[in-house]
Amino acid sequence: MFGSFKIGTKLLLVTVIITVVVILVNGLYSSSSIRDTVKEQTFAKLTAVREMKAQQIEDYFEQISNQILTFSENKMIISAMAEFTQGFNTIDSEINKDEQTLQSSLENYYQQEFVPRLNKAEQTKFSAKEYIPQQQNSKLLQSLFIANNANKTGEKHLLDNANNGSSYEDTHQRYHQTIRSYLEKFHYYDIFLVDAKTGNIVYSVFKEIDYATNLINGPHKDSNIAQVFQLANKSNDKDFVKIVDFSPYIPSYYAPAAFIASPIFSGNEKIGVLIFQMPIDRINDIMTNKKSWNKVGLGVSGETYIVGEDLTLRNQSRFLIEDKSNYLAMIKAIGTDEKTLRSIESLNTSIGLQRVDTQGTNAALTGISSTAIFDDYRGVSVLSAFGLLDINGLHWAIMSEIDEAEAFQSYSKLRDQVIMLSSVLIALAIYISYYLSISLTRPLRKLEHSAELLTSGDLETKIERVSNDEIGDLSTNFENMRLALKKSFLDVEHKKEELEVRVKERTQALNKILAEQEQQNLLLGQQNVELETIQEDLLKSRQAIENSEQRVATIIQSSPDGIITIDKKGTILSFNYSAEKLFGYQSDEIIDKNLKILMPKSIALEHDYYLEKYIPNSESTIVGKSRELVGQRKDSSQFPLELKVESVFIDDELMYIGQIRDITEQKQLQQDVQNALDAAQKASQAKSGFLANMSHELRTPMNAIIGYSEMLAEDAEEDGLDDMLDDLNKITAAGKHLLSLINDVLDISKIEAGRMDLYLEDFTLGEVIIDVASTAQSLVGKNNNKLTTNISDDLELMHADVTKVRQILFNLVSNSAKFTTDGEITISAESIYQAGEPRVKISVADTGIGIPANKIETIFEEFSQADESTTRNYGGTGLGLALVKKFCEMMGGTIYIESAEGKGSTFIFELPTRVIKQDEELESAPQQTLNQVTENRLDSSLLKDVLVIDDDPQARDLLKRNLEIEGYSVITIDNGKDGIELAKKYHPSLITLDIMMPEMDGWEVLRALKAESKTKDIPVVMISIVGDKAIGASLGAVEHLSKPVDRNLLKEVVLKFATRGKALVIDDEQNSLDIAEKSLSSIGWKTVTAVNGQDGLEKFSANKVDLILLDIMMPVMDGFEFLTQLRALPKGRDVPVIVLTAKDLSDDEKLILNGNVEHVFSKEETSVEQLVADINEQFGKR
């Protein structure tokens, strides 16, 4: 059929068909490839978002599980559980109220307040009577705290006191504010205490209609709160935590509610169950990214959501949030029932209501994690990444989806453009093909006509040139042929006659030629001999080449490295002797086998891939490079090897040459080096831990040495014993010098162990510089030096660790003072900008001995000085400048030196104006320092007590003596328990509290003090061996002094936070008790001492205490428990507590102290004078 077409038609059809096929195939292939790429990229992004959200949800549930465990084990909660249960069981005997009046009151509330709101939310008619509890006690409590509560619905929890005089009312007044503050801090919907024996909800923060009901046989016995109570109540595990899934909860007006519960034990007896009603907003914020879907790459239609086992949503639908009416219309169109539609519309939530029965959710709930395209709950096709979220018994499907239309939007645009371009190209191809066929066939037809004339014998008609191409040339040739034919016919007759003459002539010529050929044959014979000689030469050359190839083969065979050649399919062509030794194969065994026999299977697959993809003379990850791989011997053993591959062409065939070297010994050497490095790192960590522990043990006796020497010096000065004064001052100075060395070692070990934290606060740099200059004046004057400051007026308010900035400055000034005699030291500060960031540039310049140029690079190294003579002549450990550099780097700063030997040195460090921690805490408690506490100066004629709680007798003695010098009455106690009792009894104006006490440490004492109404308002100053102002402030201590306590700082703290009166000192160290007692007595305070928290509580109950000094770490009852019990006592709520501790405080310990104590001091950093000055400032003595 095709053969019958004319040439023009054939040309047109062939051109069009080829063009159309090429364009369509290219377009379809490109379109398919692009769509697959877009799909895979979208799935990858959705999977990443799904995994991120799953991790966030798991972290949230772990957080709330830890919170409920901590809360259920809190002694305050255990006490509250017991007291609320007792009050619940006896309230009907304490309050006489007519049952009919109660029933009428509750029916009126339920019918007018609760049921109308419930009916509106559920669009269903409910009866009030079915929800009113039947127990008399339940009716009384609901009447007092709900029906007759003047606060409107949703604010019933604001009522603290129902003024009914019952024991339950007293319990509620003491605990409600604390538990409510916990609920508000961690954003729970409600907190319940449920009696384990009866199932009665004896306490609720939010006071909805589930309050005071029974979860076993009451109106809500079939709810999920009853379910979680039953599960927790069955467990005898103190660490048991159970979560039940969201479901509509009637007391919360049918809003979805989930609950988490943990049993409460008093000793080994289970007395109740603690239940949190979880806030739905937190999960919703995580899954909706706080309504910022674009920030996680979900565009305008993407969303992440959770589906429960009941196939309903556990967080809000994005589409309900963004366009409620359109969302309702969509789900209505796919058949959602009217009741569900009304509930979603009235409650404005899809949680627990929107059914999601899709391919992805069903697969995920069976444990499958995958990706797919299917219709979502709106009936819209989506790309989805789904998986199972299994958390503490909750089986949820987690989905990450985006509409298919949006996912393939870019692909669709490109596809349309390809179709349009293809159509234009096809049309253009048809037009061009048609034009070409016409231009070709028209001259051919004219030429065909002329050929027909020639065929018929017409030699007279001239053939015209039809075009300027090959066809035109052909027509010209036809014309020439016509002329030639015409001439031939004329010449044929003449040539006939001439032919005979020429035949004769030709015969003669041929004879002559034959004779010449005989002569040529003779010449050819001679040339043949010459060719044979050339052939012999070629044979000799060939033999030489073969000998050369043999030498090369011998070299390859004797090479110490294995050499293998393969073809492009991986078939082994040669295998030298070293390769035989490496792999255990003989060459005749391995030749013609595939190279994969020498590799593990995992590498063999990669080998095939590289052979297929390699393009000669192009960049390759293998060819021309060395790689480390694993080889496999004949006996299947594996060994590490180094492989170098080169490609060559032999007889136009691509081949690969591999050079192989066994690197087993090299690898073993590398492993030995790594093991040695790991051992060195572990040794360094062990050293740091040892130094930290040893420094703690060293500073405990230093507390007594420095404290007693200071007091003896004061006594000697007052008594005129000048000959003893110098020696005592030397003891004090030596002790403080040793303490500074211990502190340097501790700081270095903390930094190396990663336990050094930053406490960031706002401060004025100029004031810090002036303070350092004032402090260092005596040190600088020892070598007859002059100290000056040069502070720029444009310095901004800094936000940094003021303690470390002060220590940097003091270390640098001290260093300059040591190496400068009869010279000048200058502290300068100015504002600068670096890369647009505001910074401060601070320098300490001296005119001392300077530093040699070759020592500048090592001057900041630990235990390093300029040379050995420096240590002999000037002393020191070489830690001061190392700490300076580390502190600068911790705050994002730098430090460098400009020095000229013999002329002096300038140390310059730069810090950001606002320092940001590398690992910022997510929820940092408010921090309070000595300067941030509001002064509470009272009439100086008032003589007030300070309570010192410390188990160290020396510490107690030093504190007591220093405070007494300032005119305070000091009460000391060596334990937290007694400290709490003394605080309740005497209500001191201020408490100093040691942390490290046996049985009841300072943290327990602090919790007890702040939980008791009588002691919770007493300022508490922490004084202990290890101090951390940031931790102390966050835990509620007004100040934190380190032992040995600086007397001036002690004076300032006590003056700031307590009027003179009676002070209770609780510390398990007798030295600490004695020092605190004497110090407070010196400033007009009476003191009561206690050796632990329990002793402190007893002493507090027996005395009217105006101040408590509390150690944290104490036996029997620590400072935390002491504070908890102290603040729970009516007269202990307002007693100021000062904590003195030697302990590094954790974040949880910060939270306990925060708001419960007035000051936290570190024992090793705080002198007795500091403590006394603090007490004096607090109570207005000057």
CATH number of domain containing 862? 3.30.565.10
Same structural domain for residues 953 and 902? no
CATH number of the domain enclosing 568: 3.30.450.20
What are 649's strand-pairing partners? 654
Same structural domain for residues 1097 and 1149? yes
Tokens of 10: 């054939």
Alpha-carbon distances of 917 from 750, 842, 890, 891, 920, rounded to whole Å: 17, 21, 8, 7, 5
Other CB atoms within 10 Å distance of the CB of residue 468: 9
Give 152-156 contacts, CB < 8 A, sequence gap 24+.
153/113, 153/117, 156/206, 156/207, 156/208
Pinpoint the alpha helices (H) of 187-288: 224-234, 280-288
Same structural domain for residues 172 and 249? yes
Alpha-carbon distances of 464 from 361, 432, 460, rounded to whole Å: 83, 27, 13
994 lies in a domain?
A: yes
928 lies in a domain?
A: no
The parts of the chain modelled with pLDDT lower than 50 are 871-873, 875, 919-943, 1181-1182
d(CA 711, CA 707): 6
d(CA 1012, CA 374): 61
pLDDT for 538:
67
User: Would you say 1049 and 1161 are in contact if contact means Cβ atoms under 8 Å apart?
Assistant: yes
CATH number of the domain enclosing 673: 1.10.287
Pinpoint the alpha helices (H) of 208-323: 224-234, 280-288, 318-322
Residue written as tokens 């791989």? 629
The alpha carbon of 178 is separated from its chain's Cα centroid by a whole number of angstroms, namely: 32
Same structural domain for residues 846 and 901? yes
Give 194-199 contacts, CB < 8 A, sequence gap 24+.
194/229, 194/233, 194/272, 194/273, 194/274, 194/275, 195/85, 195/88, 195/271, 195/272, 196/233, 196/263, 196/264, 196/270, 196/271, 196/272, 196/273, 199/226, 199/229, 199/233
H or E, element range at 7: helix 7-72
User: Would you say 1021 and 1166 are in contact if contact means Cβ atoms under 8 Å apart?
Assistant: no
Helix, strand or coil for residue 827?
A: strand
pLDDT for 1030:
53
User: Would you say 400 and 286 are in contact if contact means Cβ atoms under 8 Å apart?
Assistant: no
Closest Cα partner for 1085 from 1067, 1110, 1123, 1058? 1058
Same structural domain for residues 794 and 860? yes
Closest Cα partner for 385 from 373, 403, 367, 377? 373
pLDDT for 750:
66
| Dihedral pair phi/psi, residue 59, rounded to 5° | -60, -40
pLDDT for 813:
92
Tokens of 1098: 């007893």
Structural domain count, the chain: 5
Same structural domain for residues 84 and 174? yes
Same structural domain for residues 968 and 1045? yes
d(CA 1093, CA 998): 9
Render 691-753 in DSSP notation, one character per residue: HHHHHHHHHHHHHHHHHHHHHHHHHHHHHT-HHHHHHHHHHHHHHHHHHHHHHHHHHHHHHHT
130 lies in a domain?
A: yes
Give 774-782 contacts, CB < 8 A, sequence gap 24+.
775/810, 776/810, 776/813, 776/814, 776/817, 779/813, 779/814, 779/817, 780/813, 780/817, 780/825, 782/817
Helix, strand or coil for residue 192?
A: strand
Please give the residue range of the domain that contains residue 899: 761-912
d(CA 23, CA 247): 58
Tokens of 1030: 């940031």
Encode pLDDT of 770-806 as tens digits.
Answer: 988 988 888 888 889 999 999 998 888 999 988 889 9
Residue 530: how many CA atoms within 13 Å on its side-chain side?
Answer: 5
815 lies in a domain?
A: yes
pLDDT for 11:
66
682 lies in a domain?
A: yes
| Residue where one domain finishes, among candidates 254, 278, 302 | 278
Same structural domain for residues 91 and 227? yes
pTM of the model: 0.40
Same structural domain for residues 963 and 1111? yes
Same structural domain for residues 846 and 894? yes
d(CA 278, CA 260): 7
Same structural domain for residues 1086 and 1170? yes
Residue written as tokens 């050339």? 534
784 lies in a domain?
A: yes
| Residue where one domain finishes, among candidates 246, 278, 310 | 278
| Residue where one domain finishes, among candidates 645, 662, 679 | 662
526 lies in a domain?
A: no
d(CA 1062, CA 1074): 15
d(CA 849, CA 899): 9
1095 lies in a domain?
A: yes
Written as one letter, the residue type at 249 is Y
Written as one letter, the residue type at 370 is S
How do beta strands 1062-1066 and 1160-1161 pair? unpaired
Same structural domain for residues 1160 and 1024? yes
